[in-house]
Amino acid sequence: MTESELVEGLINQNKIAIQYLVDHYQKDVIKTAYYFVAIMEDAEDLSQEVFLEVFRSISRYKKNASLSTWIYRITVNKSLDHLRRQKRRNIFNQVKSLIQGSNDGTHAFSKDPPILDTRNEDNEKRQILDKAVNSLPENQRIAFVLNKYEEMAYKDIAEIMNLSVSSVESLLHRAKLNLQKKLVNYFSDYA
**Residues near another protein (CB under 8 A):** 13, 18-19, 22-23, 26-27, 30-31, 34-35, 38, 40, 43-44, 47-48, 51-52, 55-56, 122, 125-126, 128-129, 148-149, 176-177, 179-181, 183-184, 187-188, 191
Amino acid making up residue 128: I
| Dist CA 176 CA 74 (whole Å) | 25
By C-beta, is 128 or 163 nearer to another protein? 128
By C-beta, is 29 or 161 nearer to another protein? 29
**Residue 47 C-beta: closest distance to another protein, Å:** 6
**Residue 91 C-beta: closest distance to another protein, Å:** 26
**Residue 62 C-beta: closest distance to another protein, Å:** 22
86 touches 111 (CB < 8 A): no
Q: In this structure, which long-range contacts are made by residues 152-161, counting pairs with CB atoms below 8 Å and at least 24 apart in sequence? A: 156/69, 159/65, 159/66, 159/69, 160/69, 160/72, 160/73, 160/76
By C-beta, is 88 or 125 nearer to another protein? 125
**Residue 108 C-beta: closest distance to another protein, Å:** 28
Pinpoint the alpha helices (H) of the chain: 3-11, 15-37, 40-57, 67-100, 121-134, 138-144, 154-161, 165-189
By C-beta, is 30 or 160 nearer to another protein? 30
| Residue 161 CB-half CA count within 13 A | 26
Amino acid making up residue 103: N
Amino acid making up residue 183: L
By C-beta, is 158 or 172 nearer to another protein? 172
**Residue 69 C-beta: closest distance to another protein, Å:** 20
